[in-house]
Amino acid sequence: MKNNNQVSVPVIKRLPRYHRYLEELKNMGVVRISSKELSQRMGLTASQIRQDLNCFGGFGQQGYGYNIEQLYNEIGLILGINKKSKAIMIGAGNLGHAIATHLHFENRGFDLVGIFDNNKNVVGTVVGGRTVMDSETLEDFCQKEQPVVAILCIPGEYAAENADKLVSLGIKGFWNFTQYDLMHRYEGVAVENVHLGDSLMTLCYQINKLSDSDEVTE
């Protein structure tokens, strides 16, 4: 098995997708699957799937394929979803409310232990089964609970100062929904920037390419 630091980022980013598809198959009662069958479901090549999984030692058997439950569990271990790292959310507005309510953190490797906001009208309300706390209590909370990840659902202009404070409180990773790019701001801190607008514009490009193609064939 390769050291995980040697595995490329695109391969790592495909692992959660493998995990999701395998979970669906497992819930359907499917026991095994070939790389060809899995590739047809996922829109990848069988060769790509084998190369990706071989980065971690490979899990298939010639003539048998992959045992779905075993592969599902192995990818979960690689991703570390069983460790349940403590996470906090900063910002309980519409976006934060939706994420805390509808995303099952415990199935994706995290335990959301606290939600914070500085809006007094929001503090004390219950979001996703958790009571929103005042941001003024953040420092004491972090010293006690020692979360390692922060989910930022705040306006971009407040991202840098909040991130600086959170890093000083021991945060080692950010799931960043602000428009401020934290990627290269801190050494030794993991950052996953989520730009919903970028995703929407990518769809815009794809739709326009389809329209251009339709016009050419007319």
Which residues, 6 or more positions from 26, have their beta carbon under 8 angstroms from its beta carbon? Answer: 68, 69, 72
**pLDDT > 90 in the chain, percent:** 81
Whole-number CA gyration radius for the chain? 21
Q: Check residue 214 and give its pLDDT.
A: 61
Q: Check residue 201 and give its pLDDT.
A: 94
Q: Check residue 216 and give its pLDDT.
A: 57
Q: Across the chain, what does the average pLDDT equal?
A: 91
Where does residue 80 rank: exposed (0-12), middle (13-18), buried (19+ CB within 10 A)? exposed
pLDDT digits (tens, 9 = 90+) for 149-202: 999 999 999 999 999 999 999 999 999 999 898 877 888 999 999 998 999 999
Q: Check residue 140 and give its pLDDT.
A: 98
Question: If we measure between CA atoms, which residue out of 46, 45, 38 comes closest to residue 19?
Answer: 38
Alpha-carbon gap, residue 150 to 173, rounded angstroms: 6
Q: Check residue 217 and give its pLDDT.
A: 59
CATH class of 4-78: mainly alpha
- DSSP strand E in 36-180: where? 66-67, 85-90, 110-117, 126-127, 130-131, 133-134, 149-152, 173-176
Torsion angle (degrees, nearest 10) of CA 156, 161, 166, 169: 180
Alpha-carbon gap, residue 155 to 148, rounded angstroms: 21
Q: Check residue 57 and give its pLDDT.
A: 81
pLDDT digits (tens, 9 = 90+) for 18-60: 999 999 999 999 999 999 999 999 999 999 999 999 998 878 7
Confidence of residue 5 (pLDDT cuts 50, 70, 90): low
Domain boundaries, the chain: 4-78, 85-197
DSSP string computed for 3-41: -GGGS-HHHHHHHHHHHHHHHHHHHTT--EE-HHHHHHH
Give mean pLDDT, residues 120-145.
97
| pLDDT above 50: residue 1 | no
Which residues, 6 or more positions from 178, have their beta carbon under 8 angstroms from its beta carbon? Answer: 152, 153, 154, 155, 156, 158, 159
Dig out the tokens for 114 from the structure. 């606290």
Do 4-78 and 85-197 agree at the fold level? no
What topology is assigned to 85-197 in CATH?
Answer: Rossmann fold (3.40.50)
| pLDDT above 80: residue 4 | no
pTM for the predicted model, two decimal places? 0.87
Dig out the tokens for 28 from the structure. 């359907």
Q: Check residue 48 and give its pLDDT.
A: 94
